[in-house]
Amino acid sequence: MTARPVIVGNWKMQLSHKASVELARSLKKLLSKHELTGHVVVCPSYPSLPAVQAELSGFPQLALGAQHVHWEERGAWTGEVSVAQIRPFVRWCIVGHSEQRLCTELTDERVSRTAALLIRHGIAPVVCLGETAQQRAADETVAVISRQMRLLLAAFTRPALSHLTIAYEPIWAISANEPAMLPEPMDTAGTLLLMRKLIANAFDDEAARRVRLLYGGSVTAATVGSYVREPGVDGVLVGSASTHPMEFAEIVRLVEEAA
């Protein structure tokens, strides 16, 4: 595993404004006991970004991220939020989460465009990709990931790659989809290896090493160790478990331990 792992907490639409600030406060307390080498990022909903930012000021161990941003820089997009609008608050942003893709017109091309746009604005994208249960059943995982990776990398220059993080999230393994089983850690590491090879083919080995590759899907303190101990896994994207401060702090500790 990389020396500087990335652990992203995706709070989704689960918390009230008050609960978001309280969660940030609890995490600050719990994580101040640890020597952190990696990037720990929490992603509240937009309206809570300023308050969580204020709560975390003077605590650089915890970085702030957004859960989504629009692919256009500005325009007549009612209800949407632009890169320039999140820039005062965040250093990171999740892009192309499957739950966003479900409720917007977010294609792979637009995901790629958004990721490149974020990098131009100094925000690190965490791009989500992964196959559905049906694609997995049809044995299409490799084809789906290869296509998503090709479209993603098309918008990138070699230097921009060092700001890119990609999370492999098999959609069927996300806790909200109530998975009957979880992916084998060895299989997820195999998919990340495929992703790294595709980056190396499009650029070179050195460029491929610089992209951070995460696993996401029902990660808990009980399961995280088995995923991050596999070779080539640079961290995790955590949904449900990231809204429980003790659980998330324990996940951070276990990932750091494996690094």
Positions marked catalytic:
97, 169
Decide whether 10 or 45 has the Cβ nearer to ligand PGA: 10
5 with 232: CB under 8 angstroms? no
- Residues binding ligand PGA: what is the number (CB under 6 A)? 14
- Work out which of 152, 219, 221, 251 binds ligand PGA, going by CB under 6 A: 219
In whole angstroms, the minimum distance from the beta carbon of 132 to ligand PGA comes to 14
Q: Is 115 in the site for ligand PGA (CB under 6 A)?
A: no
Query: 75-95 burial string, b = 16+ CB within 10 Å, else e?
Result: eeeeeeebbeebbebbebbbb
Rounded distance between C-alpha atoms, residue 199 and residue 201, angstroms: 5
Q: Is 116 in the site for ligand PGA (CB under 6 A)?
A: no
**Residue 77 β-bridge partners:** none
Segment near ligand PGA (CB under 6 A), from 52-60, 138-146, 181-189, 239-247?
239-247
Q: Is 238 in the site for ligand PGA (CB under 6 A)?
A: yes
Rounded distance between C-alpha atoms, residue 9 and residue 75, angstroms: 30
Decide whether 207 or 252 has the Cβ nearer to ligand PGA: 252
- CA separation (Å) from 163 to 61, 98, 205? 18, 21, 16
Residue whose structure tokens are 């996940």: 251
Q: Is 183 in the site for ligand PGA (CB under 6 A)?
A: no
Q: Is 240 in the site for ligand PGA (CB under 6 A)?
A: yes
Residue whose structure tokens are 């499957």: 98
Rounded distance between C-alpha atoms, residue 229 and residue 6, angstroms: 14
List the interface residues with ligand PGA, window 144-173 (CB under 6 A): 169
> 247: which residues sit within 8 A by CB, 6+ positions away?
220, 221, 241
Q: Is 174 in the site for ligand PGA (CB under 6 A)?
A: yes
In whole angstroms, the minimum distance from the beta carbon of 57 to ligand PGA comes to 26
Segment near ligand PGA (CB under 6 A), from 15-23, 34-42, 102-110, 210-218?
210-218
**Position of minimal CB gap to ligand PGA:** 239
Decide whether 95 or 207 has the Cβ nearer to ligand PGA: 95
Q: Is 175 in the site for ligand PGA (CB under 6 A)?
A: yes
Residue whose structure tokens are 């892009």: 95
Rounded distance between C-alpha atoms, residue 49 and residue 163, angstroms: 22
Q: Tell me which residues touch ligand PGA (CB under 6 A).
A: 10, 169, 174-176, 216-219, 237-241
